[in-house]
């Protein structure tokens, strides 16, 4: 016994013991130098061009959040997608080697996804010089496609705002709402009525629009639709969100899909991100269950409408989520921070043109390829 004890003390003095009895000769370290990164591009060309595009953004959702959902929510809906890739999400913020940021916010990443242009954290539909960049929703409007935005946050929050507004800072939500009201978006559904005073709602209604505050309200299919179901963001899924993300998404698609030129809709599962900020595994579990339901419904729709491309990705990861074994087969969900990380995020796709998303690439490539699909559709229709 003494020999064993002496051996243990000797080995302990020579290095650091892990829980598995491995001796590590290295001290713990956290800060390492970085090098300029490469913005990798898509390497495939599409075999087909979609007529319509459903673009799902699960805000703050990385591999850890998908792992949580896989082990906590039953059948894993993203497994139904036919193609999958991996995406880098860094912004264009600062000089590499000195002030360069690798961690994006939802504004910069939303702008990258919507326009194919990198910008600084906080930027809504503008480049690093604060000049407006054209988004895929605006391209779709120019090509006479029907367009829509759906979010469980305020509809003027960073991600949806990046598709239809141009402001230098994401917190200018009243100005974003004003730009939304003056745009030609056919369908806007989500929260945030506090940013829409009566005169702004009337401006939308006077441009062949209608306003609803209940998901089951009667809707005129010939008029544009604004649905604001909460003063602020909608409730969290695990607290009984009403309407659900799926209900809003299906209302939007039913309102858009009669357009003979096709449609574009961005649907944001906004609050996975907020579960990461809160370091709340239960919050994330509920939002991922909502995402599961949404994906199942949209892929069922795509099966009946094979000309539609469905793409699911995230703007960034949030919380640095990692899954460990807990007691009695429970999950021990741990977090490295209460903010975003630079971890890569997955992209899933099914439908015409989906095969290009197999691989590793920069998030701007998603914006570029979807814009190219929209522009090509207009060329084919001539």
CB atoms within 10 A of CB 192: 24
Residue 75, exposed/middle/buried by CB under 10 A (0-12, 13-18, 19+)?
Answer: exposed
Rg over alpha carbons for the chain, rounded to the nearest Å, is 23
- Beta-bridged to residue 267, according to DSSP, are 56, 150
CB atoms within 10 A of CB 132: 14
Give the closest residue to 359 by CA, choosing from 88, 86, 38: 86
Give the closest residue to 104 by CA, choosing from 373, 341, 362: 341
Active site residue 106: yes
Residue 181: alpha-carbon gap to chain centroid: 23
Within 13 Å, how many C-alpha atoms sit on residue 254's CB side?
Answer: 12
Overall residue count recorded for the chain in this entry = 382
**Residues in CB range of 260: below 8 A, 6 or more apart:** none
Q: Contact at 8 Å (CB) between 141 and 184?
A: yes
CA dist 186 and 206 (Å) reads: 13
For 91-131, where are the alpha helices, taking DSSP H only?
106-115
Q: Which of 52, 69, 106, 109 is catalytic?
A: 106
Q: Active-site positions?
A: 106
């Amino acid at each position: 016994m003494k020999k064993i004890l002496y051996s243990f003390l000797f080995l302990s003095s020579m290095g650091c013991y892990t829980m598995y009895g491995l001796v590590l000769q290295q001290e713990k370290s956290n800060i390492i130098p970085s090098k300029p990164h490469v913005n990798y591009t898509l390497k495939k060309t599409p075999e087909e061009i979609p007529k319509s595009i459903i673009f799902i953004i699960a805000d703050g959702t990385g591999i850890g959040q998908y792992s949580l959902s896989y082990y906590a929510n039953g059948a894993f809906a993203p497994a139904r997608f036919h193609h999958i890739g991996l995406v880098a999400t860094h912004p264009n913020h600062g000089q590499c080697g000195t002030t360069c940021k690798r961690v994006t916010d939802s504004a910069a990443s939303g702008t990258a996804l919507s326009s194919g242009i990198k910008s600084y954290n906080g930027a809504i539909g503008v480049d690093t010089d604060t000049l407006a960049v054209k988004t895929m929703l605006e391209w779709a409007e120019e090509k006479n496609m029907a367009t829509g935005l759906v979010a469980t946050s305020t509809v003027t929050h960073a991600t949806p705002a990046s598709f239809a507004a141009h402001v230098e800072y994401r917190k200018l939500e009243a100005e974003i709402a004003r730009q939304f009201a003056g745009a030609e978006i056919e369908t806007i559904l989500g929260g945030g009525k506090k940013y829409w005073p009566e005169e702004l709602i009337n401006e939308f209604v006077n441009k062949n629009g209608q306003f609803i505050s209940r998901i089951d309200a009667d809707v005129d299919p010939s008029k544009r639709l604004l649905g604001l179901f909460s003063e602020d963001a909608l409730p969290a899924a695990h607290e009984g969100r009403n309407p659900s993300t799926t209900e809003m998404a299906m209302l939007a698609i039913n309102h858009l899909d009669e357009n003979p030129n096709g449609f574009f809709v961005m649907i944001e599962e906004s609050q996975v991100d907020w579960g990461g900020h809160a370091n709340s595994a239960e919050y994330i579990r509920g939002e991922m269950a909502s995402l599961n339901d949404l994906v199942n419904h949209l892929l069922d729709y795509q099966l009946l409408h094979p000309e539609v491309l469905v793409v699911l990705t995230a703007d960034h990861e949030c919380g640095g989520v990692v899954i460990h074994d807990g007691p009695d087969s429970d999950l021990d969900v741990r977090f490295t921070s209460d903010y975003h990380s630079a971890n890569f995020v997955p992209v899933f796709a099914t439908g015409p043109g989906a095969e290009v998303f197999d691989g590793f690439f920069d998030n701007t490539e998603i914006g570029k390829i979807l814009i190219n699909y929209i522009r090509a559709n207009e060329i084919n229709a001539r």
